[in-house]
């Protein structure tokens, strides 16, 4: 009897709440420890990035206008669905370890990384209706006025995941962006994009409105220049970049004045650092309001 061939899954992009193939038709094999493919992923192009930004921009009014409490509920639902796919994520994270990548900055087992990613979503789900009290303020002024400053979302934020900790790194960069009402276009870890691709399936089943989170898979070298130069991306949140990649982002945004936040080497499991509301601050604009205080 002939040997049966496995039917390998092809993970697609996640754009606008749907799972399209790359418009280029390209895909990339993901190899396991024995060098044989275990899956395929879509190889995103510049056109796919533009489509993702359009979907994210379209979703901004609805998501930013959603109550902070409801945004927190959506993030918590993401944590629930990620918990439901826990074993699938653990197996996906093992791929990067079998091929010798993804070790350096992870600092924990695949199971520990999945648990930390779940906890991070719960944390920022909790901050969604509380960070404004921490970042905003009531300003003392002379005269019969009430003056206060409140944070408002920036808009569309590009997220570039690190090669290490491909799930926890992506979630850590993404959660503070979306909990404050921004929408996101994320590029999954190039070293192991499988967790990022599966996170798209989590989003599709966890009440995340279409376009709020968009996830691309592909090569950094091809997509980073377009993240930097795209005029409808209002900010960037990246980690694990080389010096040349960080320079490329900062030079690319010089003409369109978007905010760029690049994280250096970090312990992704450090809750004292990563559970802080100050990770939200780079992706909000401060609005100061004057109001008569009455007689």
Please name every residue paired with 274 in a beta bridge, in sequence order, or none if there are none. none
Q: Is 69 exposed, middle or buried (0-12, 13-18, 19+ CB in 10 A)?
A: exposed
Query: What pLDDT is recorded for position 100?
Result: 43
Q: Are 197 and 20 in contact (CB under 8 A)?
A: no
pLDDT band at residue 107 using 50, 70 and 90 as cut-offs: low
Number of H helices, E strands in the chain: 10, 11
pLDDT: is 99 or 142 the higher one? 142
CATH superfamily of 10-292: Aldehyde Dehydrogenase; Chain A, domain 1 (3.40.605.10)
pLDDT digits over 48-91, tens only?
999 999 999 999 999 999 999 999 999 999 999 999 999 999 99
pLDDT band at residue 146 using 50, 70 and 90 as cut-offs: confident
Instruction: Please report, for residues 31, 38, 57, 80, the alpha-carbon distance to residue 54 in angstroms, rounded to integers and kept in the order given.
Output: 32, 32, 5, 28
d(C-alpha 238, C-alpha 230), whole Å: 16
d(C-alpha 189, C-alpha 102), whole Å: 9
Domain layout of the chain by residue ranges: 10-292
* Calculated CA dihedral for residues 235, 40, 23, 56, nearest 10 degrees: -30
Which of helix, strand or coil describes residue 207? coil
Q: Above 50 in pLDDT, residue 194? A: yes
Q: Above 80 in pLDDT, residue 172? A: yes
What is the overall mean pLDDT for the chain?
90
Query: What pLDDT is recorded for position 5?
Result: 77
Query: What pLDDT is recorded for position 103?
Result: 44
């Amino acid at each position: 009897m002939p040997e049966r061939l496995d039917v390998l899954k092809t993970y697609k992009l996640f754009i606008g709440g749907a799972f399209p193939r790359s418009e280029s038709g390209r895909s990339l094999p993901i190899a396991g420890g024995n060098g044989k493919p275990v899956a395929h992923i879509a190889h995103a192009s510049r056109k796919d990035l533009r489509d993702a930004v359009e979907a994210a921009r379209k979703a901004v009014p609805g998501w930013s206008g959603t109550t902070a409490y409801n945004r927190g509920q959506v993030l918590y639902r993401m944590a629930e669905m990620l918990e439901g796919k826990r074993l699938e994520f653990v197996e996906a994270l093992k791929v990067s370890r079998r091929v010798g990548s993804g070790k350096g900055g992870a600092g924990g087992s695949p199971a520990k990384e999945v648990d930390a990613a779940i906890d991070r979503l719960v944390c920022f789900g909790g901050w969604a209706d509380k960070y404004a009290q921490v970042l905003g303020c009531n300003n003392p002024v002379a005269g019969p006025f009430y003056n206060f400053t409140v944070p408002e979302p920036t808009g569309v934020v590009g997220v570039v995941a690190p090669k290490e900790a491909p799930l926890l790194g992506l979630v850590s960069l993404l959660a503070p962006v979306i909990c404050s009402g921004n929408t996101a276009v994320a590029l999954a870890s190039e070293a192991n994009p499988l967790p990022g691709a599966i996170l798209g399936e989590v989003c599709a089943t966890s009440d995340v409105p279409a376009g709020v989170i968009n996830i691309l898979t592909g090569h950094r070298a091809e997509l980073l220049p377009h993240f930097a130069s795209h005029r409808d991306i209002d900010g960037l949140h990246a980690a694990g970049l080389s010096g040349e990649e960080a320079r490329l982002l900062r030079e690319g945004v010089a003409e369109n004045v978007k905010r760029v936040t690049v994280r250096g080497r970090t312990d992704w499991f450090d809750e004292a650092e990563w559970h802080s509301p100050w990770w939200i601050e780079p992706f909000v604009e401060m609005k100061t309001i004057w109001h008569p205080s009455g007689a």
